[in-house]
Amino acid sequence: MAENSEIVVVGAGVLGLTAALTLQEHTKQRVLIIASEFPGDESINYASPWAGAHYRPMPALTPADIRAQKLMTVTNAVLRDQASSHPEAGIKFMNAYEYLEAPPESYVGLRGGYGDIDGFRVLDKSELPSGVQWGSTYRTWSLNSPVYCAFLMRRFIHRGGKTLRMRLVNLLEVPHVAPRSAVVVNCSGVGFGDAECFPTKGQTCLVKNACDRTITQQNKDGSWTFIIPRPLEGGTVIGGTKNPGDWSLGASEEVRRTLLERAAAMYPPITAEGGFEVIRDIVGRRPTRRGGLRLCTEMMEVDPDKGKEKRTLQLVHAYGAGGSGYELSWGVAREIADLVAKGQRSALKPSL
């Protein structure tokens, strides 16, 4: 691979930013991010800055879940280091509480590594809120998503990374926009024409009320209520809804009332000083994919510009993480770096 070649990362969500930083650490090529939105922008389709970002374990019973669990373990280790060495990143470790009104056997039986996390303990019945059948507590991280995305962006730029604001229609545009590109990493969220991808609209509410823990509750009707603090005085995210395939734009006042009422009932201390002080409603579209995250590599043949030879690029796909982008981010980024390295070694092998 030519020394002046570059790696292009498409997308500046948490997966794209983390991948770009990791590639800077593992390669000598220049790294360029092409995206239509960057940290600081507000768009319903730019989901990362809207997130109530924290980690909650789940039983890993399928091959896809087991793979995701391994990726999340990598992320947890990196975030623990960042929380200690970079307090400005907006990451904090705290106690988490999980309440289930209709607990699946996989949780109760602690299957699939569910309890393999620091400080894990099954709660005694005397510790459970009314109506809750089972609960647990453990140590986890929570982060201030807009602060964290800006932190990643600053580090990328400080290390010499470049950006290009552009809305791509097709990945085949990349080699024409970035003629020195040798590798394209597709962190576009919902892919480009992938029929398995769809948006999942979510609504939450950001309030000023402080909270010293994350709390997640499964309700009998199948909905979920959660309280996720944003460190560095970023308020608290109260959620949330998941509406697959919902393309509507606005926030619902009725949904906000329901979210706040359920949160207050679940954890009364959060309104001890007289109700919620609402900062804003949050609406975002999580980039979801049937079958889960697509993480793989392939070769892409590029039609040459006039007067140039035909060439082949390595294309790495890493999109469709749904609401798990933060939890998966550093594990996915490490796998991307490995795939890129393998592709480069393969390109250097002499043909027979």
Using the predicted structure, report yes or no on whether residue 314 has a pLDDT greater than 90. Answer: yes
Q: What is the CA radius of gyration of the chain?
A: 21
Q: Check if the beta carbon of residue 311 is closer than 8 Å to that of residue 304.
A: yes
Domain assignment present for residue 352? The answer is no
Q: Check if the beta carbon of residue 148 is closer than 8 Å to that of residue 122.
A: no
Q: 253's torsion region: left (phi>0), alpha (psi -120 to 50) or beta?
A: alpha
Q: What average pLDDT does the chain have?
A: 94
What are the pLDDT digits (tens) for 203-229? Answer: 999 999 999 999 999 999 999 999 999
Number of Cβ atoms within 10 Å of the Cβ of 328:
27
Range of the domain at 171: 6-347
Indicate the residue type of 343: G
Mean pLDDT of 31-46: 97
Domain assignment present for residue 12? The answer is yes
Using the predicted structure, report yes or no on whether residue 145 has a pLDDT greater than 50. Answer: yes
Q: What is the CATH number of the domain that holds 141?
A: 3.30.9.10
Q: How many domains would you assign to the chain?
A: 1
3-state secondary structure of 73: helix
What are the pLDDT digits (tens) for 165-195? Answer: 999 999 999 999 999 999 999 999 988 989 9
Instruction: Output the pLDDT for position 352.
Output: 39
Domain assignment present for residue 247? The answer is yes
Q: How far apart are CA 283 and CA 202, in angstroms?
A: 6
- Report which DSSP code applies to 277: -
Give the pTM.
0.94
Using the predicted structure, report yes or no on whether residue 350 has a pLDDT greater than 60. Answer: no
Domain assignment present for residue 1? The answer is no
